[in-house]
Structure 1
Amino acid sequence: MTTLWDTTGSAVVKELAAQRRTGGAVLSGVALTLVVVADESRVTEAEEAATHAAEMHPCRVLIAVRRQIDAPVPRLDAEVLIGGRLGPGEAVVMRMYGRLSLHAESVVLPLLAADAPVVTWWHGAPPERMATDALGVFADRRITDSSLADDPNAALRLRAEDYAPGDTDLAWTRSTAWRAVLASTLDSVSGRRGDAVQVRGGLIEGDPGNATPELLAGWLSSRCGCSVEIVAGSRRAGPSGVEAVTLRLDQDEEVQVRADHRGGAIISQPYRPDSTLALPERALGDLLSEELRRLDPDEPYSEALEAATGLSGLSDRDPVREHVWFDPAGQEQEVSTP
C-alpha cells in the first residue's frame, strides 16, 4: 500500500501504474469497476462490503470519500493498494476535501479500466437527481440504499421519480430471500393441486417505515395482480423490516411465511405440516455481491417500484442521462454541454 498525501489525480494514476508493474498483471481478470461513494463515518463498512464483493467478482475498487466540502482549500489524499486489504485486485481510496469533493469524477474517470463496465454504489444518501452527479451518469449500473434515508418511503418515491434503467436499491436486494421462499411455497401449492395457484390478496407484517416491505408488497402486487397491505408487526423486525407474509389464495386457502428470528422461517400451507428453512439476514457485502452479478436493467425491481409508488412507465425511460451541473454551495444550476 502507498499513501499519497495532498496529491493530484495524475499522481494517483502514475502510482497505480507503477505498482501494477512491480506487482504483476493483476488486472487481466477484472470484470468491472466498482465506484463507491461514502462519508467518512461509513467508509469502514463500505470497504468491508466492497472487499467481499471483489472476492466474488474480480473488479477494481475505487472509493471516493467526500470530506469537508466546506474546507477552504481543495485537497486529495489517496491510498493505492494492489492485493491488499481491499481484496486481491486493484483498489484506490480517495479522500477529497473542499470543492474537489464536488468534482470527484475528475479523479475517478482516469482510473477506470478500459472497456470494463462501471457500477457506482452510494453507501449513504445518494444525490436527489442522479444526473447531477457525474459518478452516476457514466455508470452502467447505480446502486442506492433507501433504508439509510431519514424517511425511507419518501426516498423510495424519489428513486422512482428519478429512475432510469440500470438503477437498483439494496432495500430491494434485502427482499431476495423472501421472494425466493414465497415463490417456492406457491410452486409447492400449485404442484399439490396440479394447476397454477391464484393469489387473491396479501398481508405483510413488519416495519411500515422500512423500504423493503414496500418493495416486497409492490413485487407481489405486480406479479399477482392483487393488493398487498403492510401492517406493523408485533416484534422488532430485522434489517429487512419483514416479520411475516400471509397470502390469501383461491379455494379459500392461505399460506404464511414467518421469520423465527433465529435465522430461519416457518412455512405454513394447507394440508401439510409446518416446515422450517433458513432465512438469514444477509451481510452488506452479500447484498452488494448479488447486485454485481448482473449488469442489465433489473425489470422486476422497476415493476415493484412502480407498484409501490404508483408511478408508471419506469422501464420505458431512457437509460442514458445527460449530466446536469449542480453546485450544492451555490444557488443556480446549469446543464453542462456534452
Structure 2
Amino acid sequence: MTTLWDTTGSAVVKELAAQRRTGGAVLSGVALTLVVVADESRVTEAEEAATHAAEAHPCRVLVVVRRQIDAPTPRLDAEVAIGGRLGPGEAVVMRMYGRLGLHAESVVLPLLAADAPVVAWWHAPPPDQLSTDALAVFADRRITDSSISDDPLAALKTRAADYAPGDTDLAWTRSTAWRTILASTLDSVSGRRGEPVVVRSGRISGDPGNPTAALLAGWLISRCGCPITVEEGGRRPGSSGVDSVVLELDQDEEVQLHADRKGSAVISQPHRPDATVALPERALGDLLSEELRRLDTDEPYRDALEAATGVTGLADRSPVREYVWVDPAEENADGDHPRERAAAKSPDS
C-alpha cells in the first residue's frame, strides 16, 4: 500500500497505474466499482465489510471519507493498494478535507472501472435527498442503512420519500433469513393442503423501533394482504430487531417462528413436529455481499418500504435522478438552501 499525502486525483490515478505495472497485475473480470462513503469513526468497519464483499464479487473499492468540510484549505490524502489488506483487487481510500468533500465525484469519476456498474454504499447517515450527492446520481445501485440513524423509523420514511429504482437498505437485507424461512414454511403448509394457504393476520414480536422489523412487517403486508402488527418483545440481542413471527392462517391454523439466543429458530406449523433451523446474526460484510449480487430494481424491497411507511406510488418513480447542487455553507437561518442547481442527469438501473 502506498500513501499519498496532500495529493491530487491525477496523482492517485497515476499511482494506481504504476502499482499495476510494478506488480504485474492486470485488471480483469471486475464485476463492478464499489464506492463506499463512510464517517471516519466507521472507516475500519466499512473497509472490513468491503474487503469481505470484494472476495465474493471482484470489484474496485473506492472509499470516500469526508473530513472537516469547513477546513480553510482543500486537501486529499489517499491510500492506494492492489492485492493488499483491502482485498484481492484494487482499492483506494480517500480522505477529503475542506470543500473538496463537496465535490468528491471529481476525484472518484476518473477512478471508476471502465464499462462496469457502480454501486454506492453509505456506511454513514446519507443525505435526506440522495440527488444532492453526485456519488448517488451516477451510481447504478445505492445502498443505505436506516438502522445506524438516530431515528431509524424516521430514516425509513425519508428513504421512502426519496426512493428511486435501484435504492435498497441493509435494514431490509437483515430480514432475508426471516423471509426465506417464512416463505418456505408457508409453501410447506400449502403443499400439505394441496391448495394455496391464506394468511388472515400476523404479529411480529421484537423492537417496534427497528427498521428491519418494520420492513419485515411491510413485506408480509404486501405479500399476504392482511394486517401485520409489530409488538414489543424480549429484544433478543442482535441487529434484526425481531424475536418471533406468528401468522394466523385460515382453517384455524397458525405458523410460528421463534428465534433463540443461540443463532437458531424453532418453526411450529400445523400437523408437523417442531423443527429447528439456523438463524444466525449476519456480519456486515455478508449483508453487503448479498446486495452486490443484484443490480436490478429490488421490487420486494420497494413494496415492503411502501407498506411499512405508507408512502405510496413508489412503483411509478422515475429511475432518473437529477443532481441538485447544495452548498451547506449557504444555509439560511431556516435551514433552507437558497442555491440549488440542477447540474446533471444520470439514469439509474
Q: CA deviation at 1:85?
A: 0.4
1 CA distance for matches of 2:330 and 2:63? 26
1 CA distance for matches of 2:265 and 2:258? 5
Per the alignment, residue 103 of structure 1 pairs with: 103
Per the alignment, residue 204 of structure 1 pairs with: 204
Identity of aligned residues (%): 79
* Per-residue CA distance 1:51-82 (angstroms, 9 max, x = gap): 00000000000000111112121110000000
Q: 2:73–2:98: 8 Å Cα contact kept in structure 1?
A: yes
Q: 2:322–2:343: 8 Å Cα contact kept in structure 1?
A: no
Q: Does 1:168 align with 2:168?
A: yes
Q: 1:231 is matched by which residue type in structure 2?
A: E
1 CA distance for matches of 2:340 and 2:260? 52
Q: 1:170-189, aligned counterparts within 5 Å?
A: 170-189=170-189
Q: 2:35–2:118: 8 Å Cα contact kept in structure 1?
A: yes
Q: CA deviation at 1:29?
A: 1.3
Q: Does 1:294 align with 2:294?
A: yes
Q: 1:118 is matched by which residue type in structure 2?
A: V
Query: How high is the TM-score relative to the length of structure 1?
Result: 0.98
Per the alignment, residue 254 of structure 2 pairs with: 254
* Per-residue CA distance 1:152-189 (angstroms, 9 max, x = gap): 00000000000000000000000000000000110111
Per the alignment, residue 66 of structure 2 pairs with: 66
Residue aligned with 1:329, SS: helix
1 CA distance for matches of 2:42 and 2:314? 30
Q: Does 1:333 align with 2:320?
A: no
Q: 1:173–1:291: 8 Å Cα contact kept in structure 2?
A: yes
Q: 1:206–1:237: 8 Å Cα contact kept in structure 2?
A: no
1 CA distance for matches of 2:261 and 2:189? 25
Q: 2:37–2:64: 8 Å Cα contact kept in structure 1?
A: yes
Q: CA deviation at 1:234?
A: 2.4
2 CA distance for matches of 1:217 and 1:149? 20
Per the alignment, residue 7 of structure 2 pairs with: 7
Work out the number of aligned pairs and report it: 338
Q: Does 1:305 align with 2:311?
A: no
Q: 1:207–1:237: 8 Å Cα contact kept in structure 2?
A: no
Q: Does 1:89 align with 2:89?
A: yes
Q: 1:49 is matched by which residue type in structure 2?
A: A
1 CA distance for matches of 2:99 and 2:343? 21
2 CA distance for matches of 1:335 and 1:265? 51
1 CA distance for matches of 2:151 and 2:45? 22
Q: CA deviation at 1:237?
A: 4.3
Q: CA deviation at 1:236?
A: 3.4
Query: How high is the TM-score relative to the length of structure 2?
Result: 0.95
Residue aligned with 2:34, SS: strand
2 CA distance for matches of 1:80 and 1:315? 40
Per the alignment, residue 46 of structure 2 pairs with: 46
2 CA distance for matches of 1:157 and 1:336? 24
Per the alignment, residue 321 of structure 1 pairs with: 321
2 CA distance for matches of 1:235 and 1:120? 31
Residue aligned with 2:113, SS: coil
Q: CA deviation at 1:200?
A: 0.4
Q: 1:35–1:62: 8 Å Cα contact kept in structure 2?
A: yes
Q: 1:43 is matched by which residue type in structure 2?
A: V
Per the alignment, residue 267 of structure 2 pairs with: 267
Q: 2:166–2:298: 8 Å Cα contact kept in structure 1?
A: yes
1 CA distance for matches of 2:233 and 2:124? 27
Residue aligned with 2:290, SS: helix
* Per-residue CA distance 1:59-114 (angstroms, 9 max, x = gap): 00000011111212111000000000010000000001111111111110110111
1 CA distance for matches of 2:105 and 2:195? 54
Q: 1:79–1:93: 8 Å Cα contact kept in structure 2?
A: yes
Q: Does 1:113 align with 2:113?
A: yes
Q: 1:166–1:296: 8 Å Cα contact kept in structure 2?
A: yes
Q: 2:236–2:242: 8 Å Cα contact kept in structure 1?
A: no
Q: 2:76 is matched by which residue type in structure 1?
A: L
Bigger shift: residues 38-47 or 66-75? 66-75
1 CA distance for matches of 2:297 and 2:173? 14
**Aligned-pair RMSD on alpha carbons?**
0.9
Residue aligned with 2:328, SS: coil
Residue aligned with 1:36, SS: strand
Per the alignment, residue 232 of structure 1 pairs with: 232
Q: 1:336 is matched by which residue type in structure 2?
A: A
